[in-house]
Amino acid sequence: MDITGFHLLQATGSTGSLLTTFIPFGLVIVIFYFLIIRPQNKKQKDTERMLSALKKGDRIVTIGGVHGVIHAIKEGTVVVKVDENCKLEYSRSAISTVVVDKVEEPKKTKKGEKKEDKKEEIQSADAPAPAVEANDEKK
């Protein structure tokens, strides 16, 4: 085999191996996007929304772990009331979370209890209303 034939064989083999080399790199980039980049962007947007929605009276926790209530909001800072006599001024970016008090919802009843309640309502609706005499009301 002469030298030109060897180069032709080598050139055709390299394009196939070049494609198989780039496919794993592409897959790694896609995996990194969905596992690292996308969740980080979503978390950053959620944090920006939380910081822009801050209002006076919100209970917050700072990144340092200080719990308090927002007393005043300035352009880039927030005054946090920690105690009756203690107010601290923090940068907005130092706020980690807004504490939301959970409101207890009425407990849901079981299906059997709902049916019994409906039966009682139907029975009370079917029962005749007590007659009120006009003379009793005047007295």
Q: Is the pLDDT of residue 100 over 90?
A: no
- Asked if residue 80 and residue 94 are part of one domain, the reply reads yes
Q: Do residues 66 and 88 lie in contact, with contact meaning Cβ atoms separated by under 8 Å?
A: yes
Last residue within a domain, chosen from 37, 53, 69: 53
- Asked if residue 61 and residue 47 are part of one domain, the reply reads no
- Asked if residue 81 and residue 40 are part of one domain, the reply reads no
The rounded percent of the chain whose pLDDT value lies above 70 is 62
pLDDT in tens, 40-85: 999 999 999 999 999 999 999 999 999 999 999 999 999 999 999 9
Domain count, the chain: 2
**CB atoms < 10 A from the CB of 80, how many?**
24
Q: Is residue 109 part of a domain?
A: no
pTM across the whole model: 0.54
